[in-house]
A and B are shown apart, each in its own frame.
Chain A
Amino acid sequence: MATQYTSDRHETTVEQRGAPQRPSVSAELPQEAPLSRPGSALQRPQLRTFQASNGKRARRPTRPGGVPLARTLGWFSIGLGLAEVMAPRALARLIGVSGEYHMLLRLFGLREMASGVGILTQHRPAPWMWGRVGGDALDLACLGAALTSDEAKPGRIAAAMAAVAGVTALDMRCSQQLSESAPQQGQRAESSVTINRVPADLYRFWRDFQNLPRFMLQLKSVHVDTARHSHWVAQGPAGITVEWDAEIIDDQPDALIAWRSLAGADVDQTGSVRFEAAPGGRGTFVRVCMAYDPPGGALGAVVATLFGEDPGQHLREGLRRFKQLMEAGETATTAGQPSARP
């Protein structure tokens, strides 16, 4: 299968769930080959193809399901919170509870506003949506308790409870959607570094995949089976390992290596590295593109931790260690040095 690489230059870029569309990023990615095998997890419907401005096709993960609903609920939270904070007595009358609860309503208003802001601004809104569900339960419990009060207007309280119950149903649906879709999103990252060695040296070191765990710390080992096939083991949290077989799909001596995991792997993982002599004899530009698409469920969560909250940063640190190994012969560290910390 032909893999095309362009020579467009970019610094580190990461494309992930929720990121704005950046069509130019696609120019650096391995086109077609790595991510579009039949049967691959990336064929799932939440991935769509878009037409990039440079005329090349690239794939990017879409937002998880539930995001538009979450935004609506986030703004609803802020609006209701404002009402509770600014006009607690009027609101108390509306829902039929005693005006003496106005301070409690103000506090609830602050809680509403916090969830709203969290949902609208945070990278992962799911916990904030679940926070809303918890708040709904608290609201229902308080309204139920208020029914027993002397000043209560049971008709109004019942109507308020019905409204809250309706919103609760929406909140729960939205939270579930956000939680389910989150781990199924593909992530990709690109980074580049300049290394003060000739391309051939760097190619040779990288081409022996057994060297990769020396600078990609999430890898426990890579065993080279044949010239094109290798077995990768990554270390997850709590001693869990994730393993996959990979094959080299493109190999141009001193210039490029591209690989991808084989069907049936724990994780769909693809990567490529290009080595290009820098102008003026100033070493080699090394450009790496990595993408992975974890399975759903618990294993997906483990895989997600392997690549971290920020796969771009992970990749940059890996490349930095690669550079240190190739230039200085060792990676800079302070692990194990003395301090007065226990």
Chain B
Amino acid sequence: MKALCWYGKNDVRVTTVPDPHILNPRDAIIKITTTAICGSDLHLYDGYIPTMEQGDILGHENMGEVVEVGSAVKNLRVGDRVVVPFTIACGQCFFCQKQLWSCCDNSNPNAWMAEKLYGYSPSGLFGYSHMLGGYAGGQAEYLRVPFADVGPVTIPDGIEDEKVVFLSDIFPTGYMAAENCDIEPGDTVAIWGCGPVGQFAIKSAWMLGAARVIAIDQVPERLALARREGQAETLNFDDEDIFDALTAMTGGRGPDRCIDAVGMEAHGTSPDALLDRVKAAAFLATDRPHVLRQAIHACRKGGTVSVPGVYGGFVDKLPMGAVVNKALTIKSGQTHMHRYMRPLLARIQKGEIDPSFIITHRLRLEDAPQGYEMFRYKHDNCIKVVLKPHDSGVPRPRSFSQ
């Protein structure tokens, strides 16, 4: 089959690889109908995530049609349409039973690697480094899904792929980010990053009762989307000092809830952001926590900082004094996917939200490398790329049809 494989920093290629097979009784194989490039895939693309190997298949926002099930999978039938959560979970361990699905004890075959870095290993993920399982991803024609009796959610006929494919990661991730804020009536929620997760965090903050949502970015089309679709007030960090602006907007108190939907590769031109770049380049730190620092600094006393943005290793100069002395709560985590997929599917079915609003580009699998480049450098106002591995009717990207 064809698959999008990682070869190194800024080097992904579509190549022919063997088809996946059932390896365990609880596996299923799905034919990918829609998959997407995630903002967190860009951390792989930029070479920031350790333990990647040349030839790894990427892709963790997957949906498709079941073509084969293992002997222990009784709830899926060949032909079912399913969305696959990006975290892989067994359903039977202490953590799965506590609904902490992304902390599953049993799904990471390379747990020892993660234990070296994190103490204990989180769950395995699709296409996201060997330390986090080394599972082949779904930017491919077919995907092997472990623990298929627990993860995939069956989608009824009549709802198109593009409305539900983001149940695989970014919609639940944005939702959990807002839920982690413990929003109270009257709260102002400030969200750094208006990429896809930020956009869903904006929508989810409203769903969970926010009185006001302020979105922060520098990319004009993303800010415009946050205003248009998200009904958010927006701040461009190129134009104004974010702390001063937030203070002014909140009457000198600061936002009650702050969400860092940016993560380890924050951009910025302040001295601390530039120093982060130097340190990361010199391997003195792995992550650039400029946004996290700013969110902690700007948050009101007794407020909450929620971190859906991905951090991989170590951050430097985190203002812990502000956390302690302002009595902040920090919440984070890879998304406990299985907890959110069905309730959020119900919201989609009721028409409360149509997640397809973030899609800007639809590509064939073979054009995925151009999709990465476009998404990485925000060419052509790119916000979200979906791939259709089996649909030859999808047009080629402009730059390549010329």
- Using a CB–CB cutoff of 8 Å, the interface residues on chain A facing chain B are 194, 196, 282-283, 313, 316-317, 320, 323-324, 327-341
Contact = CB atoms under 8 A, between A and B. Distances in A.
Given A330-B24, A332-B133, 19 more contacts: A194-B94, A196-B97, A282-B94, A320-B111, A324-B106, A327-B90, A327-B92, A327-B105, A330-B26, A332-B108, A334-B133, A334-B134, A334-B136, A339-B53, A339-B56, A340-B3, A340-B7, A340-B13, A340-B15
- Shortest 7 CB-CB distances between A and B: which pairs? A340-B55, A341-B55, A328-B90, A340-B5, A338-B17, A328-B106, A332-B109
A336 B107 CA distance: 16
A332 B150 CA distance: 14
Contact of B3 (A282, A313, A328, A338): A338
Contacts of B136: 334, 337-339
Given A194-B94, A332-B106, A313 B24 contact: no
Contacts of A323: 105-106
A339 B3 CA distance: 8
29 contacts: A194-B94, A282-B94, A323-B105, A323-B106, A324-B106, A327-B92, A327-B93, A328-B93, A328-B106, A328-B147, A331-B24, A332-B24, A332-B108, A332-B146, A333-B109, A334-B135, A334-B136, A337-B20, A337-B23, A337-B144, A338-B17, A338-B19, A339-B17, A339-B57, A339-B136, A340-B5, A340-B55, A340-B56, A341-B54
A222 B104 CA distance: 31
A323 B96 CA distance: 14
Interface string B103-118: 0011111011000000
A329 B92 CA distance: 9
Contacts of A282: 94
Given A328-B147, A332-B124, A333-B23, A313 B112 contact: yes
Contact of A339 (B13, B55, B124): B55
Contact of B5 (A320, A331, A334, A339): A339
A329 B72 contact: yes
Which secondary structure characterizes the binding site on chain B?
loop
B64 to A, nearest CB: 15
Interface of B: 1, 3, 5, 7, 13, 15, 17-21, 23-26, 53-57, 72, 90-94, 97, 105-109, 111-112, 124, 133-136, 140, 144, 146-147
A338 B109 contact: no
A209 B74 CA distance: 30
A333 B24 contact: yes
B109 A340 contact: no
Contacts of B124: 332
A196 B93 contact: yes
Contacts of B25: 329-330
Counting chain B CB atoms within 10 Å of each CB, the highest count among A196, A331, A337 belongs to: A337
Contacts of A320: 111
A101 B281 CA distance: 42
Contacts of A333: 23-24, 109
A340 B12 CA distance: 11
A341 to B, nearest CB: 4
A14 to B, nearest CB: 14
A329 B107 CA distance: 12
Contacts of A327: 90, 92-93, 105-106
Contacts of B1: 338
A332 B124 CA distance: 9
A332 B132 CA distance: 12
A196 B111 contact: no
Given A196-B92, A196-B93, A333-B23, A338 B106 contact: no
A340 B8 CA distance: 13
Nearest to A324: B106
Contacts of B146: 332
A277 B3 CA distance: 47
A129 to B, nearest CB: 30
Nearest to A327: B92
A320 B115 CA distance: 12
Contacts of A283: 94
A35 to B, nearest CB: 28
Contacts of A334: 23, 109, 133-136
A283 B96 CA distance: 14
B112 A316 contact: yes
Contact of B54 (A324, A330, A340): A340
B93 A329 contact: no
Counting chain A CB atoms within 10 Å of each CB, the highest count among B15, B24, B56, B106 belongs to: B106
A328 to B, nearest CB: 4
A169 B378 CA distance: 70
A329 B91 CA distance: 11
B14 to A, nearest CB: 10
A335 B26 contact: no
Contacts of B133: 332, 334
A336 B21 contact: yes
B61 to A, nearest CB: 19
Contacts of B105: 323, 327
A340 B26 contact: no
Nearest to B147: A328
A335 B23 contact: yes
A194 B93 CA distance: 10
A338 B57 contact: yes
Contacts of B135: 334, 337
A117 B22 CA distance: 50
Contact of B26 (A316, A317, A329, A336): A329
B167 to A, nearest CB: 24
A316 B113 CA distance: 13
Contacts of A339: 5, 17, 53, 55-57, 136
A82 B109 CA distance: 47
A338 B92 contact: no
A323 B93 CA distance: 9
Counting chain B CB atoms within 10 Å of each CB, the highest count among A335, A337, A340, A341 belongs to: A340
A10 to B, nearest CB: 17
A280 to B, nearest CB: 11
A335 B27 CA distance: 13
Nearest to A335: B23
Contact of A317 (B54, B93, B107, B112): B112
A11 to B, nearest CB: 12
B17 A328 contact: no
B376 to A, nearest CB: 21
Contacts of B5: 339-340
